[in-house]
Structure 1
Amino acid sequence: MIPLRFLSKMGNYNIRIGGVVIHVRVVDNANLVDQSLSEIRHQIGTNTAVGLIFKSSKMLQICVGSRCLMVLLSHMDISNIPQSLKNFLAEQGICFVGVATSMDRMNMGFYGIECKNIVDVSELAARVLKKPHLYGYGRELKKLAAEVGLQLVEIPSLAQFNWSAKFFSHEEIEYAVHDVCASSLIGTKLLGML
């Protein structure tokens, strides 16, 4: 096994989404999850939306500000999911946003993880902007971003992407975290309008 001090320097990427440089960390180690969540907590303000997406029942993504965490749950011992992760997702004061959130809630249960404060970013947009037609636009993040004055560049779809992989190229990371980062940016902009 690779010592933690070296492992913590691996799996780090910098990507640009919506004009923001985002530091992405990919982890499959419980101790690194604890460390990464500590860094993410410092990014949360009073009007901050935390992006949360659970991909293909394998990967949990959390994004806030300039930090994104990809937890490779399928490569972790299911009986050793960090309590810090469970506690973070259970915090009542955090507004988690994502896409297809009802499916995410159901799939997280397999890992003993629960998040009650998650809302689809399109529902948040419809409520804050008082535009009911936006509800259901969760998969059309570029349109939602335009509604709040953000510009998103769509990431081209990859022909082959393995959500169960353990290692990723820079291009794959950019593709994988686009939706969670965009959800956080849009949600934060919406909460700032309240």
Structure 2
Amino acid sequence: MQPWTPHINTYDRASAFVMSFLSSARSTRLNKFNMINHLPVSLLSKMGNYEIKIHGEKVKVSLVDNTAIVGAKIDELKSLLQTQQNPIVGLDFKFVKTKEKSYKGKILVLCVGTRCLIIQLHCMTIFSRTIAQFLSDESICYLGTGMSEIVQELYHQKYCYLYLSGTGEVPVNCKTGVDIGYLAAKVLKKANIEKSNLVSLAEEVGMDIKEPISRCPDWSAIVFSDEEIKYAVYNAYTSYVIGNKLLGML
């Protein structure tokens, strides 16, 4: 695996400032009342932590809604990834679009080992460059379901890039996104399982898993119950576990 490029929080903060300034200049809807409920970063970093049990394992989940603490959380995943045998990350991108094709709720889910990170993108003024660089790392295999749609939606997300001459917006390019069904078909040499669901794919590698029974949460909510968190990470975490089993067979 290639050495990691350390993230620079200053870059994301500078990008956030520039984009926030430009957005404020363009918008006439902003007013003084939207400045409430902004918690200090020191407090935010202590919140949004969950420990759930899924597929018999205790999984620690962090829910993040602020650009300022995303970098540290991504670094935690990077460090954990270096201790794993296979360079894989469970990936999911959940969103709800309105009739006007704007996003009502939008979350990115990343899983490595028994750690998952849920990033509430709709709460952020910009798409973090740290996230974009992580997703663009071609030494990592990103596993999930419906990966074609996920990669396409990610490409439509733009992050701010600072040039000497000004700023620009660059798409998020995840080139190594792989459908877990495709990986299973390749490794097990069974073409007919490529379109199988996660439960069936788990059976192929000797796992007995159950789908979450809770209803789909409102992705624009500010807090989630343990069951809703389990629902949120199910696809990404299960894809990671199955992928790890498959690659262990090689």
TM-score under structure 1 length normalisation: 0.92
Instruction: State the match for 1:189 in structure 2.
Output: 245
What is the SS of the residue equivalent to 1:108?
A: helix
Instruction: State the match for 2:55 in structure 1.
Output: 18
* CA distance in 1 between partners of 2:68 and 2:248 (Å): 33
Contact 1:126 1:134 (8 Å CA) reproduced: yes
Matched, 1:63 2:111: yes
Unaligned segments of structure 2, at least 5 residues: 1-37, 97-105, 159-171
What is the SS of the residue equivalent to 1:128?
A: helix
Higher RCO (C-alpha 8 Å, min separation 6): 1
* CA distance in 1 between partners of 2:87 and 2:241 (Å): 9
Q: Cα offset for 1:124?
A: 0.4
Question: 1:82-121 to 2 correspondence within 5 Å?
Answer: 82-112=128-158, 113-121=172-180
Matched, 1:47 2:77: no
Question: 1:169-184 to 2 correspondence within 5 Å?
Answer: 169-184=225-240
Contact 2:107 2:119 (8 Å CA) reproduced: yes
Would you identify which runs of 4 or more consecutive aligned residues in structure 1 move more than 3 Å? none
Instruction: After superposition, give the CA deviation of every residue in 1:18-69 in whole Å (9 maximum; x if it has no partner).
Output: 2221111111111221111111112212414210111126111101101101
Q: Cα offset for 1:96?
A: 0.5
The count of residues paired between Structure 1 and Structure 2 equals 189
Q: Cα offset for 1:98?
A: 0.4
What is the SS of the residue equivalent to 2:92?
A: strand
* CA distance in 2 between partners of 1:145 and 1:17 (Å): 14
Instruction: State the match for 1:81 in structure 2.
Output: 127
Instruction: State the match for 1:142 in structure 2.
Output: 199
What is the SS of the residue equivalent to 2:46?
A: coil
CA RMSD, 1 decimal: 1.4
Contact 1:51 1:62 (8 Å CA) reproduced: yes
The change in CA–CA distance for 1:42 and 1:149 in structure 2 (over 3 A counts) is farther
* CA distance in 1 between partners of 2:85 and 2:132 (Å): 21
Deviates more, 1:147-156 or 1:179-188: 147-156
Matched, 1:133 2:215: no
Q: Taking every aligned residue pair, what percent have the same amino acid on both sides? A: 41
Task: Kindly name which structure, 1 or 2, has the bigger radius of gyration based on alpha carbons.
Answer: 2
TM-score under structure 2 length normalisation: 0.72
* CA distance in 1 between partners of 2:90 and 2:173 (Å): 15
* CA distance in 1 between partners of 2:221 and 2:50 (Å): 16
Instruction: State the match for 2:28 in structure 1.
Output: none
Contact 1:97 1:183 (8 Å CA) reproduced: yes
